[in-house]
Amino acid sequence: MNTFVEMLSPGFLLREALIGSVLVGCLCPLMGVYFVLRRMIFLGVALPQVSAAGIALAFLVYRMLIGQHQHFVPSERWLAMLGSLSCTFVGLLVLAALARHRETVEARIGITYAIAAAATLLFLALDPAAEAHMVNLLKGDILATTGPSLTLMAGVFGAVALLLVVCRKEFLLVSFDRDLAVVFGKHAGLWDSLLYLMIGVTISLGVMTAGPMVTFGFLVIPPLTARIITRRMLTFSLTAAGLGAITAFAGFYCAYRFDLPLGPAEVALASLVLAIVAVTRGLLRVLGRWQAA
């Protein structure tokens, strides 16, 4: 109980990290809802890896064209963000351009992940002077969140969440039935592009803040959990965001209280909630069928 009170106090040493963790846990599931609707869940693991490859590529290109970059300076994070956003957007555009061929979507996403993972390792190998430090950037270190970076993240995530609310009907229509959206006079390509832009920004910031594993975990696991227990789209989105925020906070508590790695603790807790909900739902169905018989 003392740990819980300490975490909620204004003077908590890791207050920025806690808020950043909850922000990632809240917004990533809101974007992940559209991965579930479009049946492209594996996109949630491919794009964070593409983002990581972009970070490694940005530092490699900078070293080749300008020289060795400086560590622990603000320009370093901006360089990493530029590489992350650029590669994420390119990956999204390529996958979106091939989205009409539904029968091979899983294969394309799998290939994208394999290429991005291999490219990340190769880019790191070609820049050995900065390899150790870049590995920390690629993994994400949410405990190192500062006030300015938290302000930037809160502003960007707030804008993305606002767009998701304002344009919710259009995003749902193009996600459920693109052809029907065209019949209704909607510019499906424009709405798809805006959605992909928001996905790219969310993933890039998530990877820079918490790393690919945590970003993927919150993009996929809370939406899958919410899908089991909800029926309407609004409750689906709100439940996914709420579960993500709660598990992020609880995972932070467990990591701080028991001295555990933060990212794995959060993802493991979210997975545990998914398992409990899925098993409970299965048992209730079996019980209902047994009573009906």
Q: How many of the other CB atoms lie within 10 Å of CB of 102?
A: 10
Does position 180 have pLDDT exceeding 80, yes or no? no
Which tens digits make up the pLDDT trace of 276-286?
999 999 898 88
Highest mean pLDDT range out of 72-86, 195-209, 230-244? 230-244
Which tens digits make up the pLDDT trace of 35-62?
888 777 777 778 888 888 888 888 888 8
Does position 226 have pLDDT exceeding 80, yes or no? yes
**Cα 79-31-216 angle, rounded to 5 deg:** 65
Does position 29 have pLDDT exceeding 90, yes or no? yes
Does position 130 have pLDDT exceeding 70, yes or no? no
Q: What is the pLDDT of residue 74?
A: 58
As a whole number, mean pLDDT of residues 107-135 equals 78
Which tens digits make up the pLDDT trace of 236-278?
999 999 999 999 999 999 998 898 888 889 999 999 999 999 9
Does position 24 have pLDDT exceeding 90, yes or no? yes
SS percent in the chain: helix, strand, coil, step 5: 85, 0, 15
Q: What is the pLDDT of residue 22?
A: 94
- DSSP per residue, 241-288: HHHHHHHHHHHHHHHHHHT--HHHHHHHHHHHHHHHHHHHHHHHHHHH
Highest mean pLDDT range out of 14-28, 39-53, 145-159? 14-28
Q: What residues have CB less than 8 Å from 40, skipping those under 6 apart?
A: 105, 109
Does position 136 have pLDDT exceeding 70, yes or no? no
As a whole number, mean pLDDT of residues 175-204 equals 78
CB environment 108-144: b (16+ within 10 A), e (fewer): bbeebbeebbebbeebbeebeebeeebeebbebebbe
pTM, full prediction: 0.83
279 or 125, which is more confident?
A: 279
Q: What is the pLDDT of residue 160?
A: 92
